[in-house]
Amino acid sequence: MADYDFDLFVIGAGSGGVRAGRMAASHGARVGMAEDRYLGGTCVNVGCVPKKLYSYAAHFHECFTESAGFGWQLGQAPTFSWSTLRDNKKAEIERLNGIYRRLLENANVTLFNGRARIVDAQHVEVAGKRYSAAKILLATGGWPWIPDIPGKEHFLDSNAIFDLERFPKRFLVLGGGYIAVEFASIFNGLGADSHLVYRGSLFLRGFDREVREFTHDEMLKKGVNLHFETTIERIEKQGEVYHVHLSNGEQLEVDAVMAATGRRPNLDNVGLENVSVEQEINGKIRIDDRYQTTTPSILALGDLIDGPELTPVALAEAMRLVDCHFGKGEAAPIDYETVATAVFCHPNIGTVGLSEEMARKRFERIRVYSTTFRPMKHTLSGSEERSMMKLIVDDASDRVVGAHMVGEDAGELIQGIAIAIRAQLTKADFDATIGIHPTSAEEFVTMREITRH
């Protein structure tokens, strides 16, 4: 590979691209990397990290109220400062950006500031200069998609929502995926009159039906306004407010309108037209089991390819890609079916493995164990919030093939359960595990009564 400027040139310095570049460099590869926006990609800058910080902030409202049952008396009503949250978030992201830069510098990765374009199978161009590379990795991630409706210029997307100048007292989000559900909860928790509008009959399509229904009921109890089987026909701005006209004839006046209607591969202006790279119908890049596109020197991973659009998945793909191309030459495939995930709505959702609906299609007979309960904390807090836990078992093998939770810290708790699902443990293994008392988590090892087959 000495005839090239770089052994690997990475376009995009998000989680997957940075991990691939660093790991390839650790194998002795000469790595170049180009980024035209911000180090760390979506997750660090306009995704997982700021979203979770805002979710934490939104929980405090309930905490202040619930503390009274435990003897705490607040001297005055708490007030919320949007600018403090926003600016502290900015400072934390700047700190993380610096960490990413130092990681790349310490790995001897050459970083270019600018949009890199593919010139041909072995060349890229950045800021008017051309570089050769044995392999080129596309790691540019996804970008929010905005529906084409009258007044669409008034939509905020998931990139812009974190940095609003003023806090919207009335907030509306269009969409039914995890981003829409999370932000409806976040702004509701921060004190806004929060609305979610979705064309389907129930949000979070693809998640377990019982989980979706339970989450729906809990969000309603917390005051989120849910508008299903409807969509936005047009948005009109009048002064500083927006009049949102819904397809059911309703009109809502709000201070901010967000579109959380999906993300698409961020492939504009990367030069795909100069090479043969096939794409799926949904715009994702078609790859083989070594992350090679139809031009073998060009690779792709993360949100650009089919699979869960999750940061840990992109990191795992980066590790496997490096093993395939700069390591031993082969690596075990990723088991996407046992990837755990969380939705940071209020209350949280944690899930791993198969939904009940998927399991019924896969196995001849299943057993379902589920429970809902009022957590111990809320016996004194006064909150009516309930939690739900659910295990799905293949009856023939007794293997637990799915685990789901809705409740406080579900994302934290489901990580440990994911290990058990990945290890193909049985319901008997769960039953033989002694629980930690008193915790909500012990419900996962104490459910004995079959809810349904």
What are the residue boundaries of the structural domains of the chain, listed by start?
6-143+264-326, 152-261, 347-446
Distance CA 407, CA 388 (A): 7
The arithmetic mean of pLDDT across residues 317-322, rounded, is 97
Residue 402's contacts (CB-CB under 8 Å, 6 or more residues apart) are 208, 351, 352, 353, 354, 355, 356, 358, 359, 390, 391, 392, 421
- Indicate the DSSP class of residue 450: -
Tens-place pLDDT, residues 378-401? 999 999 999 999 999 999 999 999
- Asked if the model's pLDDT at residue 137 lies above 80, the reply is yes
Residue 94's contacts (CB-CB under 8 Å, 6 or more residues apart) are none
**Exposure string (b/e) for 97-116, b if CB count within 10 Å is 16 or more?**
beebbebbeebebbbbeebb
How many CA atoms lie within 13 Å of 66's alpha carbon, on the beta-carbon side? 16
- The dihedral through the CA atoms of 309, 311, 312, 317 has a sign that is positive
**CATH of 347-446 given 3.30.390.30, 2.60.40.10, 3.30.365.10, 3.40.50.170:** 3.30.390.30
Distance CA 413, CA 441 (A): 7
Structure confidence at residue 328 (pLDDT): 86
Predicted TM-score (pTM) of this structure: 0.96
Tens-place pLDDT, residues 430-446? 999 999 999 999 999 99
**What residues does 93 pair with on adjacent strands?**
none
Contact 389, 371 (CB under 8 A): yes
What are the tokens at 358?
Answer: 């998927």
Looking at the chain, how many residues does it have? 453
**Whether residue 438 has a cis bond before it, omega within 30° of 0:** yes
**Whether residue 347 has a cis bond before it, omega within 30° of 0:** yes
Distance CA 273, CA 271 (A): 5
Structure confidence at residue 139 (pLDDT): 98
Say how many Å lie between the first and final Cα of the chain, rounded. Answer: 58
Burial of 425 (0-12, 13-18, 19+ CB in 10 A): middle
Tens-place pLDDT, residues 199-251? 999 999 999 999 999 999 999 999 999 999 999 999 999 999 999 999 999 99
Query: Domain 6-143+264-326 belongs to what topology?
Result: FAD/NAD(P)-binding domain (3.50.50)
Structure confidence at residue 407 (pLDDT): 97
CA distances from 338 to 108, 351, 393, 403, 420 (A): 34, 10, 14, 10, 10
Structure confidence at residue 77 (pLDDT): 85
pLDDT band at 1 (very low <50, low <70, confident <90, very high): low
The arithmetic mean of pLDDT across residues 418-432, rounded, is 98
The arithmetic mean of pLDDT across residues 135-151, rounded, is 97
- How many CB atoms within 10 Å of residue 324? 17
Look at residues 237, 253, 261 and name the one whose alpha carbon lies nearest to residue 183.
261
- Asked if the model's pLDDT at residue 132 lies above 70, the reply is yes
Residues labelled catalytic: 437
Topology alike, domains 6-143+264-326 and 152-261: yes
Distance CA 437, CA 428 (A): 20
Look-up: residue for tokens 């993300």? 263
Distance CA 209, CA 228 (A): 16
The SS3 of residue 259 is strand
Q: What kind and span of H or E run contains 91?
A: helix 82-106
Average pLDDT, the chain: 97
Tens-place pLDDT, residues 53-82? 999 999 999 999 999 999 999 888 899 999
3-state secondary structure 359-405: HHHHCCCEEEEEEEECCCCHHHHCCCCCEEEEEEEECCCCEEEEEEE
Ranking 196-205, 302-311, 329-338, 419-428 by mean pLDDT, the lowest is 329-338
Distance CA 221, CA 383 (A): 10
Distance CA 187, CA 255 (A): 12
- Asked if the model's pLDDT at residue 111 lies above 80, the reply is yes
Burial of 241 (0-12, 13-18, 19+ CB in 10 A): middle
**Dihedral of the CA atoms 49, 52, 56, 57 (nearest 10)?**
70
Structure confidence at residue 331 (pLDDT): 87
Residue 271's contacts (CB-CB under 8 Å, 6 or more residues apart) are 117, 118, 119, 124, 125
The SS3 of residue 94 is helix
Tens-place pLDDT, residues 240-289? 999 999 999 999 999 999 999 999 999 999 999 999 999 999 999 999 99
- Asked if the model's pLDDT at residue 2 lies above 80, the reply is no
What are the tokens at 16?
Answer: 């997957």
Question: Domain 152-261 carries which CATH code?
Answer: 3.50.50.60
Residue 350's contacts (CB-CB under 8 Å, 6 or more residues apart) are 340, 341, 342, 404, 405, 406, 410, 411, 412, 413, 414, 415, 417
What are the tokens at 246?
Answer: 């819904």
